[in-house]
Chains A and B, each alone.
Chain A
Amino acid sequence: MATDRRKFILNIARGAGLTALGGLMWSAYVDEVTANKLILRPPGAIKEEDFLKTCIKCGLCVEACPYDTLILAKPGDNKPLGTPYFTPRDIACYMCDDIPCVPVCPSGALDESSVTTNGKLDINIAKMGVAVVDTKNCIAFWGIQCDACYRACPLLDKAIYLQYDKNDRTGKHAFLKPIVDSDFCTGCGLCEHACVTKKAAITVLPRDIVLGAVDTNYVKGWDKKDEERLKDAKEIHTVTKMSERKAVDSLNDMGGLLDD
């Protein structure tokens, strides 16, 4: 009887130990593979954190892609297993008008409404990532004429425009510098694909990695719409012991100085 009870307790403890061990290793692995933030998702993808719980890993978007841009992460790709991604330097997103990859998604991990304007699919508002120029290794910034990325951009003159600067080194030439406007850039990566340098000097990265965010305390005074945020703002007046006297009074206070 006593040994039976001991055996029972030991078995329970063994089960709990194995569960804890297994669970720990399992969660450590999953935590590690899902921590990869530098991954480019198909158009219309929801926030990465939600994407990882929502994507069912069926590959229907991958099958729908006519350019074989999208890949389902295989073991060894070092990406969250089974989720779709693309590598622009290999094959960029060609921004199909009918966006075949998005409506086929059964799970809502690719959100059709985020690539729809006025009830019509609109790939131009997709936000897969944002292009970043390495100004030290971009030959256009050296003064050599190259507009490969600018020409490759499907939103030419909007997502990438050329900024003309005087080349002081030669004194008679211009720099034609490619500048990315993140308001328009979809992150398709055609620029990265087209870049002529050995390793691309323009790279697409996830937007939340690259883009900053300004807190609400900064108001663009020159922008009427932004200025409107101040319409209902109230002044906050703080009273402390220091503020009992005016600052000027404090400066004019000669007390103690003249008596000497």
Chain B
Amino acid sequence: MTSIWKHYRFLILRRLTQVSLMFLYFAGNVWGWKMLQGNLSSSSVLGIIPLSDPFAALQMFSAGAAMATNVILGAAIITIFYLVIGGRVFCSWVCPVNLITDSANYIRRKFGFNQIQKKQPASRNIRYWVLALSLVLSYILGVTAFEFISPISITHRSIIFGLGFGWAAMLVIFLFDLFILKNGWCGHICPLGGFYSTLGKFSLIRVDHDEEKCTVCMKCKEVCPENQVLFMIGKSSEQILMGECTNCGRCVEVCDDDALNFSIRNFIARNKDVKKN
């Protein structure tokens, strides 16, 4: 039992946060609970505190909308929150699409797809192009371009407000991640992930690698959805500072050697590195 907890503690906590957030939103719509109303685009906590998706706000701005105070305030709160706990914590702890892509990835690992398809044919930087394109198209079309096609919004709205054909978007993402590209949606295309990656470059909570304890078993790299961020495994002791790290904690819990742990960003060590360069 303790071994299960040790090896899956963050996964369990993540699923718990994802599911309970969705449940609170659902209850907010169906039974009028005030705890959390709205959805991931914008919500109201206890009917007082506004929360807004900063990427949606950015698209509104570039579409030329008059920005309401509540949206700006809500986006600021969310931005500061993820600046502290890690940009892509949204992706691994909140976003419901993560459940879909993680399950596709789980099947890939169990059936050994990754051994057959070793090299991934697409760049992980596509998301930044999609991110830029969202803002350009918002400006040209005068509407929030990504919000009208976002499978993330379709998914959470489907959960909270009813399904419609929303299942099709979910199925497409699942099949895409399962058969076409490993970590295809979350790790390559999603511009919201790209947005939070940019935030994540500056965030406070970091995974720390201790090379002296590492036995180079590579379990962390196998389980990591963004394994390019773990380039230093077995090579040097340093913090995972790339913005793409989702702080999901899978590497921390699969590590049997205690070589990976959560910690606070080490500003002094980083400055030393800068000097060396």
Q: List chain A positions with a Cβ less than 8 A from chain B.
A: 15, 19, 22-23, 26-27, 29-31, 33-34, 49-50, 52-54, 56-60, 62-63, 71-72, 74-77, 80-82, 104, 106-108
Contact = CB atoms under 8 A, between A and B. Distances in A.
Contact of B32 (A49, A63, A77): A63
A54 B66 contact: yes
B148 A81 contact: yes
B66 A108 contact: yes
A60 B137 contact: no
A59 B60 contact: no
A72 B39 CA distance: 11
Interface string B20-60: 00000000110010000111011110000010110011001
Contact of A30 (B41, B74, B149, B153): B149
A107 B66 CA distance: 9
B149 A59 contact: no
Nearest to A104: B44
B53 A56 contact: yes
A60 B42 contact: yes
A193 B148 CA distance: 30
Interface stretch (B104-112, B165-173, B227-235): B165-173
Contacts of B169: 75
Interface of B: 28-29, 32, 37-39, 41-44, 50, 52-53, 56-57, 60, 63-66, 68, 70-71, 74, 129-130, 133, 136-138, 140-145, 147-149, 153-154, 157-158, 160-166, 168-169
A82 to B, nearest CB: 6
A16 B148 CA distance: 23
Contacts of A72: 157, 161
A166 B149 CA distance: 56
Contact of B129 (A15, A27, A75, A80): A15
Nearest to B169: A75
Interface centre among A19, A26, A71 (most CB of B within 10 A): A26
Contacts, number: 138
B52 to A, nearest CB: 7
A108 B50 CA distance: 13
Contacts of B153: 57, 81-82
A54 to B, nearest CB: 4
B60 A75 contact: no
Contacts of B44: 60, 104, 106
Contacts of B160: 59
Contact of B41 (A19, A33, A57): A57
Given A27-B145, A58-B39, A59-B38, 18 more contacts: A22-B130, A23-B133, A27-B137, A27-B141, A29-B148, A31-B141, A34-B148, A52-B144, A53-B144, A56-B52, A56-B56, A60-B38, A60-B44, A63-B32, A75-B169, A106-B38, A106-B42, A106-B70
19 contacts: A26-B137, A27-B145, A29-B148, A29-B149, A52-B143, A54-B60, A56-B41, A56-B52, A56-B60, A57-B153, A63-B32, A63-B37, A74-B157, A81-B148, A81-B149, A106-B71, A106-B74, A108-B66, A108-B68
Interface centre among B138, B161, B165 (most CB of A within 10 A): B161
Given A56-B60, A56-B71, A30 B143 contact: yes
A247 B267 CA distance: 93
A62 B44 CA distance: 13
A39 B3 CA distance: 56
A34 B137 CA distance: 14
Contacts of A80: 148
A203 B84 CA distance: 53
B148 A62 contact: no
A8 to B, nearest CB: 14
Contacts of A104: 44
A136 B119 CA distance: 68
A56 B144 CA distance: 8
A106 B50 contact: yes
A202 to B, nearest CB: 28
**Which are the 3 A-B pairs with shortest beta-carbon distances?**
A74-B164, A58-B42, A76-B165
A82 B157 contact: yes
B173 to A, nearest CB: 13
A59 B141 contact: no
A27 B145 CA distance: 8
B70 A30 contact: no
Contacts of A26: 133, 137, 145, 149
A155 B152 CA distance: 42
